[in-house]
Amino acid sequence: MTAEAGVAGTRVLVTAASQGIGYGAARAFVRSGARVVVNSSHEGRLAAAVGRLSEAGDVHGVVADLRQAADLDRLLAESQQWLGGLDTLVYVTGSPSPGTFLEQSYEDWDRAARLLVVSPAYLARKAAEAMLASGSRGRMVFLTSIAIREPIPTIATSSVCRIAVAGLVRTLARELGPKGIRVNGILPGYVATDRVAEVVDDAARRNGTTPAEERAALEREIPLGRLGTPEEIAEAVLFLASDRSSYVTGAMLPVDGGRLRSVG
Ligand SMILES: NC(=O)c1ccc[n+]([C@@H]2O[C@H](COP(=O)([O-])OP(=O)(O)OC[C@H]3O[C@@H](n4cnc5c(N)ncnc54)[C@H](OP(=O)(O)O)[C@@H]3O)[C@@H](O)[C@H]2O)c1
């Protein structure tokens, strides 16, 4: 990706970005000339990611647990200070543990709700305030999952909680559109990261198969015949964060190789 992506010079915060989809998005912004704050909850992994990203451009890391309100406040304050304002929030988050509905405890629901509902809503509020304060025509992009359209039985908490993000995107798009802020979401399908490895391993344990067999079964269900890559998700993120999508707000874009079967 290059300056043609249309995000050069913009000030960007990408959460949960020490690896996987978040890291892929952060790398695309850095390579396209944006200034980027990346976050994760683990100091060592984040430092390693910042080291790699810094080879391509201007990056700063903030260790913060997305489940903790005080961490979210600190993340926004430090990002705003380092960036000198905020133009774009890309919200990625950690994953709740795999499991069926009957396997979930109160603590599992509490953790998932913090990670997938409370945290994005609260961070969006803080980000909107930062964007309005710096006079930015802000953009927000929320990464969710195709599970919000077609629940996946073995990731029950994710299938239930992530639907809230679709409501959040529409709510924010209506309230913030008149103030010049666009808000959209992306529904990744199956993307080749550690998370998919975890889901595949879990399925193999349940079904008495091997991870390779489970992965092949997943791929058979995808019309394009393979898992996606973080780079392919990043292309969609950059589109929604740039003026190339200037008339798009409140949208939820599947990037899933055609995996979703439902219409609308
Ligand atoms: N891969 C897929 O196919 C797929 C599809 C749909 C949706 N998703 C969802 O998209 C998100 C990213 O997935 P991924 O595949 O990129 O997963 P991943 O490779 O496992 O990366 C997860 C990222 O989240 C960070 N993280 C975890 N808990 C955190 C916390 N409490 N606070 C801050 N950061 C935290 C991790 O960093 P540290 O460990 O350094 O904190 C890591 O950078 C997940 O929510 C996943 O469920 C993934």
Question: Measured in angstroms, how far is the CA atom of residue 59 from the centroid of ligand 1?
Answer: 19
What pLDDT, in 10s, does the model give residues 169-222?
999 999 999 999 999 999 999 999 999 999 999 999 999 999 999 999 999 999
What pLDDT, in 10s, does the model give residues 122-168?
999 999 999 999 888 899 999 999 999 999 999 999 999 999 999 99
What pLDDT, in 10s, does the model give residues 101-130?
999 999 999 999 999 999 999 999 999 999
19 Cα nearest atom in ligand 1: 43
Q: In what order do the strands lie in the sheet with 11-14?
A: 59-63, 35-40, 11-14, 88-91, 139-143, 182-188, 252-255
Question: Measured in angstroms, how far is the CA atom of residue 14 from the centroid of ligand 1?
Answer: 12
Q: Is 86 exposed, middle or buried (0-12, 13-18, 19+ CB in 10 A)?
A: buried
Task: Tell me yes or no: is domain 3-189+231-253 CATH 3.40.50.720.
Answer: yes
Q: Whose CA is nearest to atom 22 of ligand 1?
A: 94
Residue 260's pLDDT is 97
192 Cα nearest atom in ligand 1: 1
Residue 3's pLDDT is 57
Question: Measured in angstroms, how far is the CA atom of residue 92 from the centroid of ligand 1?
Answer: 7
Residue 216's pLDDT is 96
Q: Whose CA is nearest to atom 37 of ligand 1?
A: 40
Q: Which two tokens stand for residue 206?
A: 């349940």
Q: What is the pTM of this model?
A: 0.97
Question: Measured in angstroms, how far is the CA atom of residue 93 from the centroid of ligand 1?
Answer: 5
pLDDT (mean) for 10-38: 98
Closest CA to 176 of 89, 238, 74, 75: 89
**The pLDDT of residue 1 is above 70:** no
Question: Measured in angstroms, how far is the CA atom of residue 135 from the centroid of ligand 1?
Answer: 31
For 9-34, b/e burial (b = at least 16 CB within 10 A) is: ebbbbbbbbbbbbbbbbbbbbbbbbb
Question: Quick check: 156 and 223 in contact, CB under 8 A?
Answer: no
Q: What percentage of the chain reaches a pLDDT higher than 90?
A: 94
Question: Quick check: 57 and 36 in contact, CB under 8 A?
Answer: yes
Residue 2's pLDDT is 55
Domain ranges, ordered by start, for the chain: 3-189+231-253, 190-227
Site residues for ligand 1, CB cut-off 6 Å:
16-22, 39-42, 45-46, 65-67, 92-95, 143, 145, 188, 190-191, 193-196
What pLDDT, in 10s, does the model give residues 55-68?
999 999 999 999 99
